[in-house]
Amino acid sequence: MNNEAEYEALLADLGLARAVRAKNLKVYGDSILVVAQVNGVFEAKDDTMDKYLRVVKGILTQFNEWYVEHIPREVNTKADALSQFPSSEIENYTRSIYLQVLKTPTIHVISLIVPVGVTSYWIDPIKTHIETGWLSDDAQEARKLSVRALRYSLIEGILYKRSFIIPCAKCIRPLEVEEALKESHKGIFGQHLGAGP
């Protein structure tokens, strides 16, 4: 379980590096196993570790140069401070800290295959960016997507637009509109007067 958390942290870091369009990357990690697997010293024999490794290797191919080095946990003070954060008093922090809560392991969320017959829709790039950190090669489009995605959250695989006034709004495709209208018309207190069957 700890190695899965280490891979999740590595994937989050790689996503940030891609978001700022880094070309060369030096990564420091305190997990001997993860560093050794990424560097090809150890094989990933466990199915879960193999899936994580394949996703990480796929992302690393997008950098011109990359280097992953092991550092002892006691030297990795920033990671140690962040690992203590969930059990700390949040009100003690005066600076902005952004948290991402993963409901599902990244390797279960990432899908490189689009089902046949599903057409692309405006929510797809936003969802893909949140899931994998993907950005367009066009710098202007990548920046627009990064900024736009900040207004959205992915909860159990469903994209929601955040709002300060109303609850999060579920983002749906055109084919889902009719079903959503039926659900909203029924309301929480039953079917409205004059509604159809």
| 1 contact partners, CB below 8 Å, separation of at least 6 | none
Closest CA to 57 of 10, 93, 98, 22: 10
Contact predicate 161/168, CB 8 Å: yes
In a domain, 105, yes or no: no
Token pair 């090669």: residue = 137
pLDDT digit string, tens, across residues 36-74: 999 999 998 888 898 899 888 888 888 889 999 998 877
Average pLDDT of the chain, as a whole number:
76
pLDDT digit string, tens, across residues 83-138: 665 555 555 555 555 556 666 777 765 543 334 444 567 888 888 888 888 888 88
The reply to whether 120 and 153 lie within a common domain is yes
Last residue of a domain, one of 60, 95, 130: 95
Q: For residue 136, how many other CB atoms are within 10 A of its CB?
A: 14
Q: Residue 133's pLDDT is what?
A: 84
Q: Residue 168's pLDDT is what?
A: 75
Contact predicate 37/49, CB 8 Å: yes
Per-residue pLDDT band for 35 (boundaries 50, 70, 90) equals very high
Query: Structural domain of residue 37, as residue ranges?
Result: 1-95
